[in-house]
Amino acid sequence: MALASGVRFAPRALLRPWALLRGTTLGRTEPAAGGGGDGARRFGSQRVLVEPDAASGVAVMKLRNPPVNALSLELLTELVISLEKLENDKTFRGIILTSDCPRVFCAGLDLTEICGRNPAHCAEYWKAMQELWLRMYLSSLVLVAAINGACPAGGCIIALSCDCRVLADNPKYRIGLNETLLGIIAPFWLKDTYVNTIGHRASEQALQLGSLFPPAEALQVGLVDQVVPEDQVQSTALSEMARWLAVPDHARQLTKNMMRKATADRLLRQRDADTQNFVSFVCRDSIQKSLQAYLEKLRQRKG
């Protein structure tokens, strides 16, 4: 993690995700719709679509794990790999992260990955979640979240790891950490990220109450940076990106690292203990029961 002008400081090789990609199409490159030259070629995987624009140095990364972009192990893995690919390509300076699924940015942890699963699976899953957060939080690229749908819990983690958040102005698109309402508890590194973003008192309230903020309130509390009409989310995210990219990379990257390193280091120092805590917590009978009940409620809510 040496730091110098233009240096990448994201921790590498913390996870070996390649083995998980059985049967996926990661790395496939195809021409973007209506595109022609190299700058318009898109790549990605089954669940992460990357539309790179070499001319601007900005890639749009779209989550496409229908119906709700739940963070399955495969999606987490593919996100980490796509991020790493862009980090390693000197052409790119920024990523706009958005959803390819209508009305939902990301529904958070895929509850089927932690309901009725054995401890080894839960541990593998949690390590992948930690890995994604570390990579995003410490990314040397500018990350802008173009939040075009509901953004609860793990979805909010992803948005919070970005440098800037633009939310579509739709009362159904609520954002926040609602873990307590599921009977679970946000880990310390997520709490720290919340505090870093909206302050201690607001986090204390919002975390305990499991608040999901509608757009105007999310803006007011500082959880997002802009709220704009739905059809302007992408263009506003691009304008924000231009503002961030106007700053020399090395100065911005070193400053980002200075602001975020202590928070990330706290997890890096106790990753195994955090994994054990997560596993022993979610594998408790009482927690399994409340997660099952929550999933059941979601399923019944339909139709």
Ligand X SMILES: CCCCC/C=C/C(=O)SCCNC(=O)CCNC(=O)[C@H](O)C(C)(C)COP(=O)(O)OP(=O)(O)OC[C@H]1O[C@@H](n2cnc3c(N)ncnc32)[C@H](O)[C@@H]1OP(=O)(O)O
17 binds ligand X (CB under 6 A): no
C-alpha to C-alpha distance for 133 and 216, rounded to whole angstroms: 26
Q: Which of 10, 111, 206, 223 binds ligand X (CB under 6 A)?
A: 111
- Nearer Cβ to ligand X (242/298): 298
Q: State yes or no: residue 216 binds ligand X (CB under 6 A).
A: no
Provide the minimum distance between the beta carbon of 139 and ligand X in the complex, in angstroms, as a whole number: 20
From CA 136, how far away is CA 179, in angstroms rounded?
A: 21
- Using the minimum distance from each CB to ligand X, give the nearer residue, 122 or 142: 122
Min dist CB 200 to ligand X, Å, is 19
Return the residues of window 173-202 that contact ligand X according to CB under 6 A. Answer: 178-179, 182, 184-187
242 touches ligand X by CB under 6 A:
no
Instruction: Between 39 and 183, name the residue whose CB sits nearer to ligand X.
Output: 183
Nearer to ligand X, 201 or 301 (CB): 301
Pairing outcome for strands 94-99 and 58-63: parallel
| Residues belonging to the active site | 109, 154, 178-179
Quick check: 146 binds ligand X (CB under 6 A)?
A: no
Residue with nearest beta carbon to ligand X: 108
| Residue 44 lies near ligand X (rule: CB under 6 A) | no
Cβ closest to ligand X, residue 147 vs residue 241:
147
Is 299 a binder of ligand X (CB under 6 A)? Answer: yes
CB count in 10 Å sphere of residue 90: 9
Q: How many residues bind ligand X (CB under 6 A)?
A: 29
DSSP string for residues in the chain? ----TT---S--SSS-GGGG-TT--TTEEEEPTT--SGGGEEEE-SSEEEEEETTTTEEEEEE--TTTT-B-HHHHHHHHHHHHHHHH-TT--EEEEEESSTTBS---B-GGGTSS--HHHHHHHHHHHHHHHHHHHT-SSEEEEEE-SBEETHHHHHHHTSSEEEEE--TT--EE--GGGGT----HHHHHHHHHHH-HHHHHHHHHHT--B-HHHHHHHTS-SEEE-GGGHHHHHHHHHHHHHTS-HHHHHHHHHHHHHHHHHHHHHTHHHHHHHHHHHHTSHHHHHHHHHHHHHHHHH--
Six token digits for residue 89: 């390509």
Site membership for ligand X, residue 10 (CB under 6 A):
no
Instruction: Note whether 50 binds ligand X by CB under 6 A.
Output: no
- Binding test (CB under 6 A) with ligand X, winner from 58, 60, 68, 141: 68
Mask for 248-287, x = binds ligand X (CB under 6 A): ------------------------------x--xx-----
For residues 87 to 106, the per-residue mask of contacts with ligand X, x marking binding by CB under 6 A and - elsewhere, is ----------------xx--
Q: Does 159 bind ligand X (CB under 6 A)?
A: no
The verdict on 49 binding ligand X (CB under 6 A) reads no
The Cα-based distances of 39 to 51, 56, 204, 249 in angstroms read 9, 9, 45, 21
Q: Is 207 in the site for ligand X (CB under 6 A)?
A: no
Which residues here bind ligand X, judged by CB under 6 A? 67-68, 70, 103-104, 107-112, 150, 152-154, 178-179, 182, 184-187, 278, 281-282, 298-299, 301-302
